[in-house]
């Protein structure tokens, strides 16, 4: 079995003992991890070697310019994503909407030097009056200079606007369970990737 010289690629998903790496030619290649090797996360740039079987092995993780961490049950920190540009804070209308959680995520975004975008999803569930009320509640964030998007599974224009705002940037979607993060990612990527979420605890 011949092995090619090391290449550089971007980790776009992980599967436990392997990661999906997007190559310079935009091919997505499954790369295995060696035992006791540091585990790459989505957003990591890695060096890998490709073999004739159509898969490869990760050799090393390049230095990260940013990393999103989350504590586990033992008090240790676990990396979730790396080299991010944008934190997309996803909320749904009341009773899920929480300005307290929005503010927590905004603080985290600023500490990580990420641009925060605010998304109110599932707007199709609102009456016209309730939508106006929700827009009034989010208006202070717009006045403070934050980008705000209103999205819905049945109205693609909102997701298209978000996609334009995210162009050529690496983003992480955060927010409580049930706000539709998976649906937004599926719409943005046309179901081309597996979805992982970061939820509030």
Please give the model's pTM, rounded to 2 decimal places: 0.80
Higher pLDDT, 183 or 194: 183
What is the pLDDT at residue 195?
43
Percentage, residues of the chain above pLDDT 90: 53
What is the pLDDT at residue 4?
58
Residue 140 backbone phi and psi in degrees, to 5: -60, -35
**In contact, 156 and 187? CB cutoff 8 Å:** yes
What is the pLDDT at residue 134?
93
Helix H segments across the chain? 99-111, 128-143, 156-165, 181-189
**In contact, 90 and 173? CB cutoff 8 Å:** yes
Six token digits for residue 120:
């109110």
Task: Give the model confidence (pLDDT) of 48-86 as tens digits.
Answer: 998 877 789 999 999 999 888 887 667 778 888 999 999
Chain Cα centroid distance, residue 50 = 26
Among 86, 103, 67, which Cα is nearest to 172's? 86
Write out the H or E segment, with its range, that includes residue 31: strand 28-32
Higher pLDDT, 181 or 153: 181
């Amino acid at each position: 079995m011949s092995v090619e010289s090391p290449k550089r690629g971007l980790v776009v998903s992980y599967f436990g003992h392997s990661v999906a790496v997007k190559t310079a030619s935009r091919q997505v290649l499954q790369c295995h991890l060696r035992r006791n090797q540091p585990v790459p996360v989505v957003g990591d740039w890695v060096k890998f070697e490709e073999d004739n079987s159509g898969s490869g092995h990760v050799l090393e993780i390049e230095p990260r310019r940013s990393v999103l961490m989350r504590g586990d049950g033992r008090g240790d920190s676990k990396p979730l994503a790396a080299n991010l540009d944008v934190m997309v804070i996803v909320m749904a209308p009341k009773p899920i909407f929480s300005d307290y959680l929005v503010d927590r995520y905004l603080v985290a975004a600023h500490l990580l030097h990420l641009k925060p975008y605010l998304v109110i999803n599932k707007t199709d569930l609102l009456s016209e009056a309730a939508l106006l009320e929700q827009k009034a509640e989010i208006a202070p964030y717009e006045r403070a200079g934050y980008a705000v998007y209103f999205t819905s599974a049945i109205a693609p224009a909102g997701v298209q606007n978000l996609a334009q705002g995210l162009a050529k940037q690496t983003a992480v979607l955060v927010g409580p369970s049930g706000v539709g993060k998976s649906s937004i990612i599926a719409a943005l990527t046309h179901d081309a990737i597996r979805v992982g979420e970061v939820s509030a605890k």
